[in-house]
Structure 1
């Protein structure tokens, strides 16, 4: 089902259809493909635009319904058959790609990168999977995430107040998540504006479970200014054949109002040591964006 057709279907019917498909798919989990690569974040970093670009490639296969399954963060307690039920069968996947080519299957869940237990879970279940990480200026990402949560009705404080409340809101939440795998922490998922931008610490957690050569890190700013070159580098990492004529658009961009200059300065100062750590961690294994070079 294409995104345009899906939008025309009432939400209750979409949910019922997805539930039925996943239930049926779970019973035939052994016949279904597993992901070859996963986009793990960062949320509000341009992953929807990259997801749409990947979907234009003739050898890429997505989950049957939404781009993000949120299995390794929110739904791990449901088990591997439930996860498999979101993907097409091997036969169906082969029919979607160029004849004779191997389908490259993927999903994208932006919360994976920040979730404390997703790396270990994914390494245990999919040790050979490739990971794609898209990083945005953490100051801009924090403000975009705030605007997004406000628009969804999940945030009612001012930006400055939300930043000040973040430590208190998230206090003890990871321990609750550890005790109960089915527990979904609302503040950890929706009010982590600063924590999600401390990229080096998050990447180090993933590097404890995956070798560096399985992780491709890219800057969202470079993807939007130089999409062809940036996508070619990603395609090379994924083993995708070149495909001329691809279109690159920007999706889910939040309308922007000006951020308070003092708040911006405070965030810049906060993220400066984290960005320096990121620069040392990645070295020359990626092309650093302008925000990392201004430190």
Structure 2
């Protein structure tokens, strides 16, 4: 999509943004779209419409400098739950298509907590963490924020997908995305079908102090846009070594799970008529639900 800036220069900006929230299969979607659409050069998430907005629209457009207009441009970035992001995307790309990926809120909240622990962003127990970082719950309030996206972009330009459908039938899930963004359908790549292209979180860092230093180094590389170095270190196994190898995460205890279900139940009830889906599978404790399909943990990005 071409947009004009204030100085008359033509900018290449996304035709669609998959806004998440995070821990709902966004990494899977980014990976399977590679090579089929034009994504940000060198990085998955620019965070432009949230933390990096002060850098200006030219900075953002530079990430799509390699796009030649021959295929859709997109970004997969968890902007859902941030009203300022919806407002800014509507300002700069008013005809943008939006993809929302929703996952069982209780699972998503716990997965987000594990991500924070994995990257040494917190050491608090879950209950205390959710008090100190309320945004984790806020971005999981799908029924609260979905109407704003629909109002800004139009209901026909906002696609709602459920992680349950991804687990049950990855190909049908991808087909819906292809139809929505306007590209030909194609088979789910083998590694993605096997759940091997997923940002799964299973363990804590073996050396927390080293992990904190590595995280700050990663942030510094991102600030300098040294994405190639970040990706090289990932391929070399540095990030996996630094941020993993420690104790494994346990399953969410039943008492905490029950409290989160009670907290999020109004969201379940409000979302059902909003998207026309039966969400009864979200309303039962996870222990009561039979697995939807093999590789569920991987596809969910636990």
TM (normalized to structure 1)?
Answer: 0.72
1:254 pairs with 2:205: no
Query: Could you tell me how far apart the structure 1 residues matched to 2:148 and 2:155 are?
Result: 12
**1:115–1:124 distance in 2 versus 1, CA, 3 Å:** same
The equivalent of 1:39 in structure 2 is: 18
Query: Could you tell me how far apart the structure 2 residues matched to 1:199 and 1:280 are?
Result: 12
Query: Could you tell me how far apart the structure 1 residues matched to 2:267 and 2:187 are?
Result: 38
- Matching residue within 208, 212, 235 for 2:178: 235
Per-residue Cα deviation, 1:206-247 (whole angstroms, up to 9, x for no partner): 223120111111011221331001111111111111223633
1:151 pairs with 2:118: yes
1:278 pairs with 2:271: yes
Query: Could you tell me how far apart the structure 2 residues matched to 1:277 and 1:162 are?
Result: 26
Query: Could you tell me how far apart the structure 1 residues matched to 2:45 and 2:88 are?
Result: 16
1:52 pairs with 2:31: yes
1:116 pairs with 2:83: yes
**RMSD of aligned Cα (Å):** 2.4
Query: Could you tell me how far apart the structure 1 residues matched to 2:167 and 2:279 are?
Result: 11
Indicate conservation of the 8 Å contact 2:23/2:111, yes or no.
yes
Per-residue Cα deviation, 1:224-275 (whole angstroms, up to 9, x for no partner): 3310011111111111112236332341112152111011011111111111
The alpha carbon displacement at 1:30 in A equals 3.8
Counterparts in 2 of 1:11-160, with a 5 A limit?
30=9, 32-57=11-36, 60-90=37-67, 93=68, 102-110=70-78, 112-160=79-127
Query: Could you tell me how far apart the structure 2 residues matched to 1:218 and 1:117 are?
Result: 22
Indicate conservation of the 8 Å contact 1:31/1:89, yes or no.
no
Query: Could you tell me how far apart the structure 2 residues matched to 1:231 and 1:242 are?
Result: 8
Query: Could you tell me how far apart the structure 2 residues matched to 1:118 and 1:205 are?
Result: 11
Gap regions ≥5 residues in structure 2: 203-248, 286-302
Query: Could you tell me how far apart the structure 2 residues matched to 1:264 and 1:294 are?
Result: 10
Number of aligned pairs?
A: 230
Query: Could you tell me how far apart the structure 1 residues matched to 2:94 and 2:33 are?
Result: 22
Per-residue Cα deviation, 1:111-166 (whole angstroms, up to 9, x for no partner): x1121211111111101010111111100000010011011111111112223x2x
Q: Which runs of 4+ in 1 moved over 6 A?
A: none
TM (normalized to structure 2)?
Answer: 0.70
**1:149–1:244 distance in 2 versus 1, CA, 3 Å:** closer
Indicate conservation of the 8 Å contact 1:56/1:246, yes or no.
no
Gap regions ≥5 residues in structure 1: 1-25, 95-101, 170-186
Query: Could you tell me how far apart the structure 2 residues matched to 1:116 and 1:200 are?
Result: 13
Query: Could you tell me how far apart the structure 2 residues matched to 1:231 and 1:245 are?
Result: 7
